[in-house]
Amino acid sequence: MREKRPIRYALLVASASALLAFTSSCVRKSEDSSVRDRATRDGILLFGNQGEAPSIDPHLNTTINGMQVTNALMEGLIAYHPTDHNLPEPGVAKSWTHENATVWTFNLRDDARWSNGDPVTAKDFLYSVQRVLEPDFGSNNAYFFYIIKNAKAYNEGTLTDFGEVGVKAPDEHTLVFTLNGPTPHFLNIIKHQAWQPVHPPTIEAAGGMTKPDSNWTRENYVGNGPYKLKEWVVNKIISVEKNPYYWDAEKVSIKEIHFLPIDDISTEDQVFNSGRLHYQNSVPPSLIPIYQKEGDPYLRMEPWVGTYYYILNTTIPALSDSRVRRALSLAINRKAITKRILMGAPTPALEFTPLGIEGYTPPQVEGFDPNKARRLLAEAGYPNGEGFPRLQLLFNSSETHKQIAESVLQMWSSILNIKADLQNQEWKTFLETRTNLDFDIARSGWIGTWAYPDIFLNMFISGGGNNDTGWANPRYDELIELSNNEADPTKRLALLHEAEELLLAESPIIPLYHYSRVYRISPDVKGWYPKLNDNRNYKYLKLEAASPSP
């Protein structure tokens, strides 16, 4: 049998011009009609993954495109179910029990292995929880763990003995969490990447658990997921291949996944159309009605639990007054944005927590009201915009983000008589700028890893790792903490509702619209089902040619 030479799929994303100029010269035209066809036969999934992932360290990454990769390389106690966003799927934990949803005991499988062959133990998870909570490590994901007894105190440095934190490993295959109060949806919470383990010897060899800029993710990535890291070429490709030590390796069908960082959605659309992707992460809004009219067989439009919003830097004098922030919100016509720019796919958002979460009806901000917007701005000392400083609106490079920002700026100018400038940055720099509060106003988006209000509301606690607004409110913090300790599910949702009312009244954020999941995918990809949170368990995916190549 003739040996097949590997295709260098990384070339596909070297640049926009290279993408479109790239031909099937790297394959034999007599055998292949497209790169995608060849990749299907070779068992390689070509995955459009937005821009360059800022990190694939599960304890540091906060982005969707980074999490797409970590979910292939790592596995937590509970994994993502292939079809249902709510059902628990056994991961490293083969079984679990709980006492009043407060004390959770997980029994780890004895055949779980790291990608170097080492056994995965309960002590690895214990080490990983401590790493996330170490104050000197500075993980933005630490607040996810505040539901654990004494975790917040340890992370804030008021408690220095990690032994008093509510997580124990009584033996190699048993892990016990003691929470602040009953948390029935704990199994969904720990699906999040922040709860995935890391390999302690690898972390220690790279500088220890408190070294945040460690190069272990590039030089010696040891994971425990269905795949292991094969190659990472910045701005070109992150490729992963089957992990032979994975406990369920026989179920893993796809041989490799190539995560391709195509940050321009128009370019990504062209790459997909030219047969060089199986999965197109985003569709240009202007093309959605065209593809719908044509009956495009690749187009998928599904519900998605997420919100697109603006964050306001409340540490800036002009934005420190909630009346100014509310005026900016009231001056935005959300329906016009979703209809004219986004072609009606998303829904306008007057609430931060998306609609459709069972048992929860979120509060709303007031809608488009130019007169009230002008009145509030005048009350704040800026009648007809007089004396209001010229601010900047920051967004990550994208034509859609730019169009939305231009529309918002025009509304602020015509209604409030205030001016602002646009500022765009590439993805990684953009995230750093937001984290450092080196901006005035910036776009943001948040997708719920689980469908419950706390995933949206917990991040705005004072000093929270993903609270990039500078806003802090003691009553808000109190409500979130009370909700974490509340046993009654109805009362817990009521506390979260009150917290969201306060958040919207103070307006450090401006919700614009709720996402709908619009993407394109080849029928060669089997086992890909609609999911509210859109998280995939890659071991259940398969590649099979949908029809003979022309």
- List, for residues 369-409, the tens digit of each pLDDT value: 999 999 999 999 999 999 999 999 999 999 999 999 999 99
Amino acid at 259: F
pLDDT of residue 547: 64
Residue 25 has pLDDT above 50, yes or no: no
Cα–Cα distance for residue pair 73/67, rounded to 1 Å: 10
Show Cβ contacts of residue 493 under 8 Å, excluding neighbours closer than 6 positions: 359, 360, 453
More confident residue, 59 or 214: 59
Residue 7 has pLDDT above 80, yes or no: no
Share of the chain above pLDDT 90, in %: 86
Going by their DSSP bridges, the two strands 391-396 and 420-425 should be labelled as parallel
pLDDT of residue 423: 97
pLDDT digits (tens, 9 = 90+) for 131-184: 999 999 999 999 999 999 999 999 999 999 999 999 999 999 999 999 998 998
pLDDT digits (tens, 9 = 90+) for 238-259: 999 999 999 999 999 999 999 9
pLDDT of residue 329: 98
Q: DSSP letter at 546?
A: S
Look up tokens 């306008």; give the residue. Answer: 348
The predicted model gives 33-40 an average pLDDT of 90
Confidence band of 216 (pLDDT split at 50, 70, 90): very high
The predicted model gives 43-57 an average pLDDT of 95
Contact indicator for 98, 149 with CB cutoff of 8 Å: no
pLDDT of residue 356: 85
Show Cβ contacts of residue 210 under 8 Å, excluding neighbours closer than 6 positions: 131, 134, 136, 137
pLDDT of residue 1: 39
pLDDT of residue 449: 86
pLDDT of residue 130: 98
- Candidate from 4-13, 170-179, 481-490 with smallest mean pLDDT: 4-13
Residue 19 has pLDDT above 60, yes or no: no
The predicted model gives 52-81 an average pLDDT of 96
Contact indicator for 109, 424 with CB cutoff of 8 Å: no
Share of the chain above pLDDT 70, in %: 93
Cα–Cα distance for residue pair 27/34, rounded to 1 Å: 9
In sequence order, what are the beta bridge partners of 174? 107, 171
Max Cα distance, the chain (Å): 80
Sequence length of the chain is: 550
Q: What is the SS3 assignment for 404? A: helix
pLDDT of residue 33: 57
pLDDT of residue 4: 32
- Candidate from 11-25, 72-86, 429-443 with smallest mean pLDDT: 11-25
Mean pLDDT, all residues of the chain = 92
150: burial class by Cβ within 10 Å (0-12, 13-18, 19+)? buried
Going by their DSSP bridges, the two strands 103-108 and 93-99 should be labelled as antiparallel
More confident residue, 491 or 10: 491
Q: DSSP letter at 309?
A: E
Residue 540 has pLDDT above 80, yes or no: yes
Residue 17 has pLDDT above 50, yes or no: no
Residue 272 has pLDDT above 90, yes or no: yes
pLDDT digits (tens, 9 = 90+) for 333-355: 999 999 999 987 799 999 999 99
Give the residue among 283, 271, 238 at the shortest CA–CA distance from 257.
Answer: 238
pLDDT of residue 548: 53
Tokens of 470: 């500078």
Tokens of 328: 């900016």
Residue 550 has pLDDT above 70, yes or no: no
Give the residue among 243, 110, 127 at the shortest CA–CA distance from 196.
Answer: 127
Distance, CA of 146 to chain centre:
19
Contact indicator for 534, 31 with CB cutoff of 8 Å: no
pLDDT of residue 53: 94
pLDDT of residue 485: 80
pLDDT of residue 345: 75
Cα–Cα distance for residue pair 242/229, rounded to 1 Å: 9
Can you list the domains of the chain with their CATH numbers? 9-55+223-300+519-543 (3.40.190.10), 73-216 (3.90.76.10), 302-516 (3.10.105.10)
